[in-house]
Amino acid sequence: MTIRERRYVPWDGRWTRPWVRWLVLPRYGLRAAFRSRLFASLYTMGFAAPLLGLLVIYVDARADQLGQIGAVLAGFEIDRRTFRLFLEVQSRIAFVVGLIVGPAMVADELAAGALPLVLARPIGRWGYIAGKLATPALLLSGLTWIPGLALVLFKTSLSGSAWLLANLRIPAALFAASWCWIALICLLALASTAVAGSKSWGRGLFFALFVAPAAAGRAAATIAGLDGALAVDLSATVGTLYQWLFGDPVTTGLSPAVAVLAVLAWCGAAALVIDRRIRPVRIVR
């Protein structure tokens, strides 16, 4: 047993480098997230599609050696549409994960008034925000572009580098499209909580941001014929980006340029809200 002297001793040991201190926050954030068994189970279920993808790619590559199964899969082709479908499935799971984890990152600290305490440390306000965004970003990366690129590598290992060279657009699209979605979810989740001030209200607001504008945008597009109104529909916007990035025909009724601008506008607005709200002191003017 350690015997401790009840005496204060100043610290004269070594220090970590200032630019890595914010990384402490995602470490604690991930630990807190996986403390919930429900969340851990849900997150584990998010790997079902990547595992299925591995199986499909393997079976497809070995179709000639697999008898009847191979014959069934003979007409099936692993191409960019397959990877887009994979990313769309994973994006929906990522949304649920973001809904659970995103608002939980800062809600407790906001509600407890602990921001002055944390921001009095030498990490800086944007270091703190980056640390808080990093937790959902890491979790969502683990569901989207990381398994996506792993599938691309697996396919390459089975089909040869010629397949990769012919389909270089797939890993690039997987990476870019995933990060569009991750950035949107992380920033909107943090901004929603910063506005709402609590976990439950933050989740409600975050969910509403994906539903209410979508309904309004679709209504405006259908009733008034304003296709541009779909830009406020985040699913349509991101769907457009996915189709465009993977080189598929865009069927959402929204131009890729408008979709890019819409995503940038949403992210910019969320960053602005975060900047306004995540402060050590609220100044009453």
Q: Shortest gap between Cβ of 45 and other proteins (angstroms)?
A: 24
Q: Shortest gap between Cβ of 2 and other proteins (angstroms)?
A: 8
CA angle in degrees (0–180, nearest 5) for 89-94-100: 140
Pick the closer one to other proteins by CB: 28 or 76: 28
| Beta carbons within 8 Å of 232's beta carbon, 6+ residues apart | 213, 214, 216, 217, 262
- Residue 223 identity (one-letter amino acid): I
The two structure tokens encoding residue 267: 């992210």
272: left (phi over 0), alpha (psi -120 to 50) or beta: alpha
Pick the closer one to other proteins by CB: 122 or 249: 122
Pick the closer one to other proteins by CB: 25 or 97: 25
Q: Given CA atoms 36, 42, 45, 49 in this order, what sign does their dihedral have?
A: negative
Pick the closer one to other proteins by CB: 36 or 159: 36
Pick the closer one to other proteins by CB: 20 or 172: 20
Question: Residues interacting with other proteins, by CB under 8 A?
Answer: 2, 4-16, 18, 21, 24-25, 28, 32, 108-109, 112-114, 116-124, 279-281, 283-285
Q: Shortest gap between Cβ of 113 and other proteins (angstroms)?
A: 4
Q: Shortest gap between Cβ of 234 and other proteins (angstroms)?
A: 30
Alpha-carbon distance of 136 to 202, in angstroms, equals 15
Pick the closer one to other proteins by CB: 224 or 283: 283
Start-end of H helices in the chain? 24-34, 37-45, 48-61, 67-72, 80-101, 104-111, 115-119, 125-141, 145-159, 161-166, 169-196, 199-223, 234-245, 256-277
Tell me how far apart the terminal alpha carbons of the chain are, to the nearest angstrom: 55
Q: Shortest gap between Cβ of 245 and other proteins (angstroms)?
A: 37
Contact 60, 78 (CB under 8 A): yes
Q: Shortest gap between Cβ of 14 and other proteins (angstroms)?
A: 7
Pick the closer one to other proteins by CB: 125 or 218: 125
Q: Shortest gap between Cβ of 280 and other proteins (angstroms)?
A: 4
Pick the closer one to other proteins by CB: 119 or 236: 119
Q: Shortest gap between Cβ of 61 and other proteins (angstroms)?
A: 44
Alpha-carbon distance of 167 to 155, in angstroms, equals 11
Q: What is the DSSP letter of 66?
A: S
Alpha-carbon distance of 270 to 285, in angstroms, equals 23
